[in-house]
Structure 1
Amino acid sequence: MAIIKITGEEALKRKGTTDWDTLDALTDEQIADAAKNDPDSDLPSDEALKNFKRGPVKKPTEK
């Protein structure tokens, strides 16, 4: 698939192919199952999640 550049105005005119009604009808469990069964997904295991560390929280700087 080739990458093409379009303007923001052109993007707003295009109609997507997403079936939002079907997507909205999915349960959290169905979404999780789909992600787990997707061969391209790189979801961390429960063991890996236990080893995640929270990064430092920094306050935004004034401009």
Structure 2
Amino acid sequence: MKRQKRDRLERAQSQGYKAGLNGRSMETCPYQQMDAKSYWLGGWRDARDDKNSGLFK
């Protein structure tokens, strides 16, 4: 049985979240297409909010 790939926009959001948790700058976004870039930045913002609210150290 073949494994199904994750949606690329979901993957972009997940990578942005990880980047935000690791303290990377939003300028390090690897995406050029607007859709994927906006998902990456959304994940980055979510991670920064979670980190600032004390969910992660």
Q: Greater helix percent: which structure?
A: 2
TM-score by length of 2: 0.27
Q: Taking CA–CA contacts closer than 8 Å with sequence separation of 6 or more, which of the two structures ends up with the larger relative contact order?
A: 2
TM-score by length of 1: 0.25
Larger Rg: 1
